Structure 1
Amino acid sequence: MNVHATAASAITSHPRPLAGRTAVVTGSTSGIGLGIAKALAGAGANLVINGFGDPRSIEQTRLSLEAAGDVTVRFDGSNLAEPAGVATLIEGAVAAFGQVDILVNNAGIQHVAPVEAFPVELWDAIIALNLSAAFHATRAVFAGMKERSFGRIVNVASAHGLVGSPFKSAYVAAKHGIVGFTKAVALEGAEYGVTVNAICPGYVWTPLVEKQIEEQAKAHGIARDRVVKEILLAAQPNKRFATVEEIGALAVFLASEAGASMTGTAIPVDGAWTAH
């Protein structure tokens, strides 16, 4: 029996491996979160998306996700920096769809400053959204996942969950915390069919990165290509940005039956940055 051929056939014969599942993706109105939401919808999952932005633009996004995936998509604008907001998000998802099968903890913010000058209120905000919100959301869905003997939790960490960088103390602390949290909760869910994994991207091409390139070029008085090569991708050996589609495809795999034995991992998608 060709085990590899059988496994490949099982995957390719299910073009919508998440059909009938419900996913909550935080911070999903743009960037990496939106890329993950599109991939999950394309794989057949109903969705609750969450984030900030122009209401008309968010509604267009919601409708496009529904049309592209032939799924049902709900938007929830709860503020996840507050535990009550996380509770509202999960309660709304359960009320709308009956249960949450897949949770993607992606919402996050960043601030860059020397530690001695780092604003205390921004430290608290980064830890609240980047780390504590993942705890509150996971806590809210975990019992149900265990009872149903199926659950997929995907935490979007960062290469900064594996290595440090100066002037990013809060972000690096939060992302290292997410990686540790992933491992701990994976151990708790392992016997119950609940997997918990962290994706650790390096630089990913998003509108936010495009803005950073423009700002850095202006601040340093250098060309865009030098900003990309000498600043943003200096530590990334493949010298290219990952795409949101790549991150989305990995999230779909982790959320599917094919990812059933992958749990407790922190997966770098960083062009060998953390291989140094």
Structure 2
Amino acid sequence: MNDRFLEGRVALVTGATSGIGLAVAEALGAAGAVVHINGLGDAAQVRAALAAVRAAGAPEAVHHPADLRDPAAIRAMMAAAGPLDVLVNNAGIQHTAPLADMPEERWDALLAINLSACFHTMKAALPGMAARGFGRVVNIASVHGLVASLHKAPYVAAKHGLVGLSKVAALEMAGQGDRASGGVTVNCLCPGWVETPLIEPQIAARAGDGGREVGIRALLAEKQPSLRMALPAEIAALALWLCRREAHNLTGAAIPVDGGWTAQ
């Protein structure tokens, strides 16, 4: 599936200066899309991300520094990006603590970035997609959009909310376009453990003298039966497939990529 089927299309990926978001941006660029990215990082990291997206094949790559806690900043970003064919909401933050000890400001920040920002980007992008008869929204939720874990109240609440929000949007867009145009679809991907730098400390804490692979298996044994993590590029490949015209009837889904976690 390395054809340039998104040639002439425009995409925006949030949380795209590293990890899953950057992998998705690269995949969209390789398929021919002009790619707008939003994400944190210093100037060097942003330059590196843009260079990676262009090297993957994007005819153009642009960074938007919008603070996703700020609806006005999101509206400005969406206006600057212009009409979108593909929107990938990937940005997210995490904070773990028992519910009674969760700082209220962390609750507010997690709900703002992990859920409300997705509402604002979708509100801006979906009308144009409907008018053109083609659009793809891929929301990167989490296995925690389907099941809960201890000490993750705001994250679980936001990701469950994102799955529900996506289902409503999918229903509202289901009749737009047709098979020829590709229609407008809204779906969630729900990854379990994904191999990113953010989880390296958790692996190291469980590795002991057995090395990294032992640490990975010990970490995943708690919940993920496959005992292997997904790679960001694997999540990106699934997101890219959802953008294909053949995926016109796959909408309103919350697709787990979790090694059997939610099958238990």
Query: Fold match, TM over 0.5?
Result: yes
Shift of 1:15: 0.9
Shift of 1:234: 2.1
Letter in 2 for 1:103: L
Shift of 1:54: 1.7
Query: Which has the higher mean CA deviation after the structures are superposed, 23-32 or 66-75?
Result: 66-75
Q: CA, structure 1 residues 52+65, in 2 after alignment: closer, same or farther (shift >3 Å)?
A: same
Alignment of 1:59-208 (within 5 A): 59-94=47-82, 99-192=83-176, 193-208=183-198
Tell me the equivalent position of 1:256. Answer: 244
* TM-score, normalised via structure 2 length: 0.93
Distance 1:30 1:59 in 2: 12
The secondary structure found in structure 2 opposite 1:191 is coil
Distance 1:72 1:247 in 2: 22
Distance 1:29 1:200 in 2: 20
Q: Is the 8 A contact 1:203 1:233 kept in 2?
A: no
Q: CA, structure 1 residues 195+226, in 2 after alignment: closer, same or farther (shift >3 Å)?
A: same
The secondary structure found in structure 2 opposite 1:263 is coil
Q: CA, structure 1 residues 235+88, in 2 after alignment: closer, same or farther (shift >3 Å)?
A: same
* TM-score, normalised via structure 1 length: 0.89
Higher helix proportion (structure 1 or 2): 1
Q: CA, structure 1 residues 173+221, in 2 after alignment: closer, same or farther (shift >3 Å)?
A: farther
**Structure 2 unaligned blocks of 5 or more:** 177-182
Letter in 1 for 2:157: A
Q: Is the 8 A contact 1:233 1:240 kept in 2?
A: no
Tell me the equivalent position of 2:180. Answer: none
Q: Deviations over 1:188-246 (max 9, x none)?
A: 000112100000000000111224323x349x998644542233442111100101111
Letter in 1 for 2:69: A
Tell me the equivalent position of 2:28. Answer: 40
Q: CA, structure 1 residues 90+228, in 2 after alignment: closer, same or farther (shift >3 Å)?
A: same
Runs of 4+ in 1 over 3 A off after TM superposition: 220-227
How many pairs does the alignment contain? 258
**Structure 1 unaligned blocks of 5 or more:** 1-11
The secondary structure found in structure 2 opposite 1:194 is strand
Identical-residue share of aligned pairs (%): 48
